[in-house]
Structures are given as structure tokens and as C-alpha cells.
């Protein structure tokens, strides 16, 4: 299911113009991005939680060459499914 299919299904359900739905979806994505940038987590009931986690810089060793690399810090994005979603999928 790609982006356009999602918009189509949504516009049918909400009985709204595709343009409106597109704007809403864009707002949704940018809002989530905004929160994740601020290291907040977004909880959607019945679906799951989007969160971001900061990984500190670290040294990794390439075992084959013995070379060491200092990796910069990074923020990883995570999604934790809610129990309801998990049950839906398992069915």
C-alpha cells in the first residue's frame, strides 16, 4: 500500500477531498517529525509510540583489520507497537 493508496482510502472514509487529506497527512508527518526532533515521543492509542533515542559516540573496532573507528553520536528512531495492534496482526 503506497502513499497514494493511503490517501485514497482515507478520503473515502472521511468523505473529504483528496487535497484536504493530503494536507492533513503532511501536517501529521511534519508534526511527528517536529516532536521526534525535540526528542519527544508520540503516542497514538491503538497503534503505537514513535520515539527517538540518542546514541552517544562510541569506538568500534573492525575485527578483520584491527582498525578503530570513532563513530559520531546519532539519534535513532523507534516505533513500539501497542498491544492492540499486535493482536490485530496476530489474528
Partner 1 sequence: MNSKITLNQLADNIAKSTGSNSLTAKAFIQDLTDIIAEALSKGKSVTIKGLGTFSVSDDIDPSVIWHPDESLAENVNQPFEAFEPVELEEGVTEEILEGGGPQESTGPEMPVQDLPQEEQAVQEIDSETTQPAETHVIETPETSGNETDETTDSIMEMPEEVPDSTEHSEPQESEEQYYEAKPRRRSALNPWMMLITGLLAGFIIGYFSAPYIARLLPSYGSVQIPPTDPAESTGIYPDSISASELDDTESATVKSDTVSQHQATEPVTAPPVEVTDTVTQRRYLTTMARKYYGDYRFWVYIYLENSDIITNPNRIKPGTAVVIPPAEKYGIDASDPESVAEANEKIRAILEKLDK
DSSP 57: P
Among 6, 17, 18, 19, binds partner 1 (CB under 8 A): 6
Which positions from 38 through 77 interact with partner 1, judged by CB under 8 A? 38-50, 52, 54, 56-61, 66-75, 77
Among 14, 17, 18, 19, binds partner 1 (CB under 8 A): 14
Q: Give me the DSSP letters along 69-85.
A: EEEPPEEEEEEEE-HHH
Which of left, alpha, beta for 72 (phi over 0: left; psi -120 to 50: alpha)? beta
Residue 1 in the binding site for partner 1 (CB under 8 A): yes
Integer Cα distance of 75 and 72 in angstroms:
10
Can you give the binding site for partner 1, defined by CB under 8 A? 1-3, 6, 9-10, 13-14, 20-21, 23-50, 52, 54, 56-61, 66-75, 77-79, 81, 85-86, 88-91
Amino acid at each position: 500500500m503506497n502513499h497514494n493508496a493511503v490517501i485514497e482510502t482515507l478520503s473515502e472514509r472521511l468523505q473529504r477531498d483528496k487535497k484536504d487529506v493530503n494536507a492533513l497527512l503532511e501536517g501529521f508527518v511534519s508534526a511527528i517529525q517536529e516532536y521526534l526532533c525535540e526528542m519527544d515521543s508520540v503516542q497514538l492509542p491503538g497503534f503505537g509510540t514513535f520515539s527517538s533515542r540518542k546514541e552517544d559516540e562510541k569506538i568500534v573496532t573492525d575485527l578483520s583489520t584491527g582498525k578503530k573507528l570513532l563513530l559520531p553520536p546519532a539519534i535513532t528512531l523507534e516505533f513500539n507497537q501497542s498491544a492492540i495492534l499486535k493482536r490485530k496482526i496476530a489474528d
